[in-house]
Amino acid sequence: MIAVASRLTRNFSTTEEDDIVSDRFKNTRIINLNRPPALNSLNLNMVRILTPLLKNTDADPDEKLIVVQGVGGKAFCAGGDIKAIYEGGKAGNSIPKEFFSEEYRLNYLISKLTTPYVSLLNGITMGGGIGISVHGKYRLATDNTVAAMPEAAIGFFCDVGGSYFLPRLPGSLGMFLALTGHRLKGYDVFESGIATHFIPHQKWDEFRFALASPKSYDPEAIDKLIQSYSVPHTPERSSIPWKFVEHHFSHDSVESILSSLKKDSSHKAEEIYKKMTEQSSPTSLRVIFEQLKRGKNLSLKDCLIMEYRLASEFMKQPDFFTGVASVLKIKPFTHPPQWAPLASAGGIERYFAPLPAGEDLTL
């Protein structure tokens, strides 16, 4: 038990070489996202460590379970390293292109793993953190899990497969989360479908120890182990405003959604309307709406190819740099951000256009 606890709870160093700390205990591969000062945000170095590590683990018949967790207790993974992407885009180097192409390939790889892949979503899980978990078989939330897709507020879009998993959430919830950046907490992460199970914090440490060294690695036994610590689906525990979401976010355009919110005098509607119209990029909102509309009928592979096109166009436009500068307080910045004028319908379409020959993402 001491050896297992050490592998699951010890604090690691934060040198670049140790951005990912991987360990094997018996037949379990334990992967630690190890950038606690940055809330374990995903950088290119981490992607380049994770990709071959997961490939080799999946190919090794002696490694029968993969457990991924964040170090530090505050976050699983707070998203992609937007500062590095911002700086690379500003400098005109290849970092953004490399990061997005390799990150999306990692997302796709996770969806294809045959070895059971378990993400322990303890703490903040946003953007890229959802991307390296939601495509795996098991995503386990607990009381302090916080999940969100806040990209509209930084002038970007819901990538890492958001085109695929968001429109497949119940009802209009995916559209609501994508356009508002609403933060799901605790049980609601499970209720939404982003997590597959919810484990109360009282059982969390005991569960992690059991998971690191299960009595059997048979897939059915792993499933039963996770189920034995999980709470059953109890909708009355949820605080997701389902009726509100369906009433306002089932409309057929961003304009219709905003019009619906504006007619609602409730504090919730006024707050969300203000956030969408003052704090979110108007172009991002329209692109996000369209990407979810298209993604509903696409495979994950095709969604990721589409998203790489979107990312490539966003790197040519000012809103991402405006939004990141505002969030990170990079001078000169304004708050709220001064977004570019809303792109026309034809302008939105260019975000989805195929890239020149040989430049589209290959999976």
Confidence grade of residue 17 (pLDDT, cut at 50, 70, 90):
low
Helices 82-91/95-112 angle, 10° precision:
140
CA distance 17 to 205: 27
Q: What is the mean pLDDT of the chain?
A: 94
Containing 31, the helix (H) or strand (E) segment is strand 28-33
pLDDT digits (tens, 9 = 90+) for 137-155: 999 999 999 999 999 999 9
| Residues labelled as active-site residues | 80, 128, 151, 159
pLDDT digits (tens, 9 = 90+) for 218-248: 999 999 999 999 999 998 899 999 999 999 9
CA distance 161 to 159: 5
CA distance 232 to 35: 33
Q: What is the DSSP string of 281-312?
A: -HHHHHHHHHHHHHHTTS-HHHHHHHHHHHHH
pLDDT digits (tens, 9 = 90+) for 149-181: 999 999 999 999 999 999 999 999 999 999 999
CB 284 within 8 A of CB 318: no
Averaged over 73-96, what is the pLDDT?
Answer: 96
Averaged over 301-324, what is the pLDDT?
Answer: 97
CA distance 174 to 162: 9
What was the pLDDT predicted at 9?
44
**Position of tokens 């809303």?**
342
- How much is the pTM? 0.94
Confidence grade of residue 343 (pLDDT, cut at 50, 70, 90):
confident
Position 333 pLDDT exceeds 90? no
What was the pLDDT predicted at 336?
86
Confidence grade of residue 345 (pLDDT, cut at 50, 70, 90):
confident
Q: CA nearest 311: which of 85, 81, 49, 48? A: 85
Domains of the chain: 1-363 (3.90.226.10)
